[in-house]
Structure 1
Amino acid sequence: MHIATVNPANGETVKTYHPMGEDEIERRLQLAEATFRTYRTTTFDERAHLLHRAAELLDEDRRAIGRVITTEMGKPVKQARAEAAKCAKAMHWYADHAAELLADEEPDASDVKDSGASRVLVRYRPLGPVLAVMPWNFPLWQVVRFAAPALMAGNVGLLKHASNVPQTALYLEDLFHRAGFTEGCFQTLLIGSAAVDEILRDERVKAATLTGSEPAGRAVASTAGEMVKKTVLELGGSDPYVVMPSADLDRAAEVAVTARTQNTGQSCIAAKRFIVHTEVYDAFAERFTAGMKALRVGDPMDEETDVGPLSSEQGRNDLEELVADAVRAGATVLCGGERPDGPGWFYPPTVLAGIDREMRIHREEAFGPVATLYRAADLDEAVLIANDTSFGLSSNVWTRDEAEADRFVRDLEAGSVYVNGMTASHPAFPFGGVKRSGYGRELSGHGIREFCNITTVWHGA
């Protein structure tokens, strides 16, 4: 398996790595198991001290690691620094809140008495080594939103990161070690995808979490199911962005541009399908298209760049094929749609109108700065279009009518509904999807409890 840093802005290979062999993988599995035996007995205060220190170090490193991220996967460097800052914030949040989130719970006294007990507790205990299979698009954040709660719960982590971000993966292992965590608390495994199955089958690995593609999720879930191991999956998304007549149209169009092109459009929770009521469709389309045209595409190390290159040549090819298929089937290109000349895997912000259900881009996730516009006759049709997807990660609704908002919250098939705002993850709120966007939740109290043994402790009278 090719594990390397290849700069998406010019296609040049910066650094290559040899995958770890069987002996090194075995050594690390042994270390994870041994470390867990002692780490699980540490107190919340001890874990919080270490995690706070990791957050402080990450904050100090954000400029340097931001440049590494941009070199490896191409996001504008200002967004890479912001990602590092967000990770530090999440670490601090879990360090501050884990003890409360995982505190012993006491059932209602009448239920305790009815059970014949003198006392009953529900206790959250760690599971053990957890395998995390993580993607390249948010190479720090995707890992930290697993690692921070897992470590605070008393688990230890094994990271299989995407093969195009090895320097970021190794940085994360070093970060936790510098913060004072025992060596085996968090380890990076430089391995290819083919090695995941055998590691997941190992009895020392107690659970797995994956953020990535639907095929990768199916593979991990299949093996974990066979081995009867807990998994959390966050897969693709084709999030709807609904605009109704009562919306603040200028604000909705402005936010829509960011919602579609954040991280160069390579985000599972990026808005992708823009469903606009016919009364305001033309006005919104004009504003939105103008905003997309105005974005600056270029060198991701330039502080003024809005949209960088896609992470890989294959990623750009896949996106081009979706656009070409839509155009052949009758879609109209309002802006963009053609790759620029020159080195690097750039693709312009693109808006397509006239989408129908037979086009691939209607059914598949467009992972890049390509937006699709839909015209809805009324609220009912907007809901139908929004739900006409196999995905269900998040959703966005713009309306100042409370009854409309309530209807969308009730009927949209998604893990989140953002009203008059853009989808964003926050450590205090649960994050995850339904349908083929996966199952389980990350972040918040729900996320930290996913990899806990929820134990009933019963004391006789």
Structure 2
Amino acid sequence: MEFYSTNPYNGEQVGKYTAQTPNETTQVLELSAKAFKDWSKQPLSFRTELLQKAAQVLRDNVEEYAKMITQEMGKPISESRAEVNKCAWVCDYYAENAEEFLASEEIKTDATHSYVRHDPIGGVFAIMPWNFPFWQVFRFAAPTLTAGNTGILKHAPNVFGCALMIEEVFEKAGYPKGVFQNLIVHHDQTEMIIAHDAVQAVTLTGSEAAGSAVSQLSGKYIKKSLLELGGNNSFIVWEDADIDRAVKTAVSARMLNCGQSCIAAKRFILLEGIYDEFVSKFKAAVSDLKAGDVMEDTTQVGTLARKDLADQLQSQVKRSLEHGAELLLGGEQNECFHQPTILGNVKPGMPAFDEETFGPLAAIIKAKSIEEAFEFSEKSKFGLGTTVFTKDIQKAMEMAGSVSDGAYFVNELVKSDPRLPFGGTKRSGYGRELAKEGMMEFVNKKTVYVKA
């Protein structure tokens, strides 16, 4: 089987890749198991030293890696550079904090000595998406490899060029052979991979359907799994908010990466008193965004990664309009490009409210009160994150407990940060990445009990 990587901006072929056979895949898995035996015994100082080198490789090759990201999935080159630099940051973070995170935890019992130590578990199979093709992988790999595990990557087929470059980062940094490997395979080999003894856990970032399928396989073979799935984040604006600041943040929250982000703000829930002002200023700000050649530094809006994704978004726009939504801006599609679009009068029951919209579509919802705004926010099968804009910080903090999502941001867009745990609830998945929690997901918390 052949895989083709195509530039969504101009339709040119970026790469061609031949799928590995099941036998070749098995060889990768066996090498991972062999590498784990030595890698898991290496001093933590050695593993963190290599992670620091990986960060430097990323910084030294920002332009090359950013170019591949942009060519394969269409985001503006400036955003691709930022993504590569964020990967270097997460490497730095775990290199600096791994010793503290992995330290044994003393627990007083009737034993002479009792504690919990944190040991690696083995190979971790990572199924990763195309929307942040470098970041999603390093978010998993930096803590997981540093804890002493090995990594096996199955990336999205349209970003296999990025996948090969990521494997190259670890090679250039001096990681032993087999510690991090990339697979060029179709999803029909997924069960075989998960079932293999070399794989002790699975992490997936992707769609709800993919998460459901992988979690079933993980359960079948009794392997731990971590799922980071879709989102339908709310961006709630109270009447006392700084509207100009809220609008500026809202544009980034919705339009970054051309809206192709699980944690993007998708439903903008506005209190009646500021509705007209926010919508007017938001329309103007979105209209000013520059679309164009994604290789130019000044471009702010790129294409979607594939035409089928743009087609799906266009369908959601049309069906929402048929259900009574109002087209306030944009709405047109041309191949992989979809205009930044704003829909007003959006209500529950419309695709723009109920479904995850993976593209530059903002759904505007009017609420009569703060309580109703939170009720609208909770009307979702997803639970990644919520933003609230207000000057009443105390009241906003008091409302945090009423939000069922995995994150709650006040006066800021929901974003991932190496220092904070990241993950969702409900159909957005389970488990946490980043921070100490991200490193603890794939370790054996081993109880040690000694009685003299």
2:104 counterpart letter in structure 1? D
Give the 5 Å matches for 1:22-41. 22-41=22-41
- Taking the aligned partners of 1:167 and 1:252, their CA distance within structure 2 comes to 37
AA aligned opposite 1:420: N
Matches within 5 A, 1:94-105: 94-105=94-105
Alignment of 1:375 onto 2:366: yes
TM-score (ref. length: structure 2) = 0.99
Following TM superposition, where does structure 1 have runs of at least 4 consecutive aligned residues deviating by more than 6 angstroms?
Answer: none
Is the contact between residue 4 and residue 165 of structure 1 (CA under 8 Å) also seen in structure 2?
no
The corresponding residue for 1:123 is 117
The residue number in structure 2 matching 1:431 is 422
How far off is 1:2 after superposition?
5.0
* 1:49-448 superposed matches below 5 A: 49-107=49-107, 109=108, 112-113=109-110, 117-340=111-334, 345-448=336-439
Q: 1:398, 1:227 → 2: CA distance?
A: 45
List alignment gaps of at least 5 residues for structure 2. Answer: none
Q: What letter matches 2:314 in structure 1?
A: E
Query: Any stretches of 5+ residues in structure 1 without a counterpart?
Result: none
CA shift, 1:355, in A, is 1.0
Q: Partners in 1 of 2:250 and 2:369 — Cα distance?
A: 20
Q: Which digits, 9 at most, give the CA deviation of each residue in 1:298-327, with x for residues without a partner?
A: 111011110100000100000000000011
Give the corresponding residue for 1:456. Answer: 447
Check conservation: 1:249, 1:284, Cα contact below 8 A: yes
**C-alpha distance in structure 1 between counterparts of 2:273 and 2:32, whole Å:** 59
* In structure 1, C-alpha distance between the alignment counterparts of 2:88 and 2:323, rounded to whole Å: 46
> Does the aligned pair in 1 maintain the 2:22–2:189 contact within 8 Å?
no
Are the counterparts in 2 of residues 429 and 444 from structure 1 also a CA contact under 8 Å? yes
Post-superposition offset of 1:403: 4.0
> In structure 2, how many angstroms separate the alpha carbons of the residues matched to 1:260 and 1:2?
34
Coordinate RMSD, CA, aligned: 1.0
Distance 2:394 2:33 in 1: 53
TM-score using structure 1 length: 0.97
Query: What percent identity do the matched residue pairs reach?
Result: 42
- Using the alignment, how far apart are the partners of 1:14 and 1:45 within structure 2? 39
Letter in 2 for 1:423: V
Equivalent position amino acid for 2:54 in 1: A
Paired residues of 1:11 and 1:345 also in contact (CA < 8 A): no
SS of 2:152's equivalent in the other structure is: strand
In 2, Cα distance between equivalents of 1:402 and 1:172: 41
Q: What amino acid is aligned across from residue 207 of structure 1 in structure 2?
A: A
Structure 1 residue 140, shift from structure 2 partner: 0.4
Corresponding residue pairs, total: 452
Counterpart-to-counterpart distance in 2, 1:401 and 1:300? 39
Equivalent residue of 1:305, what SS? coil
Distance in 2, Cα, partners of 1:389 & 1:367: 15
